[in-house]
Amino acid sequence: MQEKATLNRVISLPLLVFYGVGTILGAGIYVLTGKIAGISGVYAPFSFLVSAIIAAFVAFTYAELSSRYPKSAGEAEYVNNAFSKPWLTGLIGWSIVFAGIVSAGVMARGFHGYLIELLNFDFPSELSIILFVLLITSIAISGVSLSVKFAAAVTFIEIGGILVVLFIASEDFVLVFERWREFIPPMTLEVWRTIVVGAFIAFYAFIGFEDMVNVAEEVVNPEKNLPTAIIIALVVTTIIYVLVAMALVLALPIERLANNNAPFALIVEEKSSFPVSFISLISLIAILNGA
């Protein structure tokens, strides 16, 4: 009787946490934060907080299901076990595929924006997208052990870039004590509409859970480590998103954030003597990590 092929369980809890944090941050924090600030204004941190609360229900669901069904099929596996309907399982599987295509498109656009900042000329978008796809493909086909370790290492670089931005905005953070009332939204329909729209878009930034459960068969002790890693990753990334959103709206005019595809490069250029190419390079690496 032929033995069933299995995957190598090489992903430990720390590696899985870094993988999850890097995936959830990725393009979201380097690309979407400026757009959400353009929508929600000074309430952008609140939009991220609302989105994180909604995402928490999803995260706890994934944590529970991943401990029961630690299979790489993720959502398709859960639906199959719940309903045993092949057409529904297939629909969910293809939905994940199409969501991945949309995510790749967002990341490719963000990659192009930061590449222009890095090279300081209008690099053709078609060529940058081809370069982006080739880079992430070469990393993916290298194998899960190397690619997840690469993702964990890149997450350190990614968080380093975030710390640089928070350091640059540290003087503006002092204004929080003077302007804290501005961050509390009034109970008006118009304000809450912008917060909800911002939270709706910010939710995209938190959907890294499916990537974590899709490596379930390569995780050591997945029944325990997957739920733990999912919850840790959500808490860490929520704190980072709220802090970065607050830094951006305190340090830069909202209209400039709204019309810029590279908000981190913008804050470095406007508020510090750091070379813009430095943060642009980190941003490119972060977007690759998310992909």
pLDDT at 86: 92
Q: What is the mean pLDDT of each run of 10 residues along the chain (291 residues)?
A: 63 86 76 80 88 90 87 87 92 87 77 74 80 80 74 79 83 71 78 88 79 83 90 92 86 77 78 74 71 64
**Total-model pTM:** 0.81
DSSP-derived secondary structure letter, 219 = B
How far apart, in whole angstroms, are the C-alpha atoms of residue 83 and residue 80?
A: 6
Q: Which residue has the tokens 């804290």?
A: 180
Q: Which residue has the tokens 């939009």?
A: 47
Interhelix angle for 222-251 vs 13-27, to 10°?
A: 30
Whether residue 152 contacts residue 22, with contact meaning beta carbons closer than 8 Å, is answered with: yes
pLDDT at 3: 52
pLDDT at 257: 77
CA angle 265/30/109 to nearest 5° reads: 95
pLDDT at 1: 46
Alpha helices in the chain (DSSP H): 13-27, 33-40, 44-68, 75-83, 86-119, 125-140, 144-168, 170-173, 176-179, 189-206, 209-213, 222-251, 254-258, 263-271, 276-290
pLDDT at 289: 64
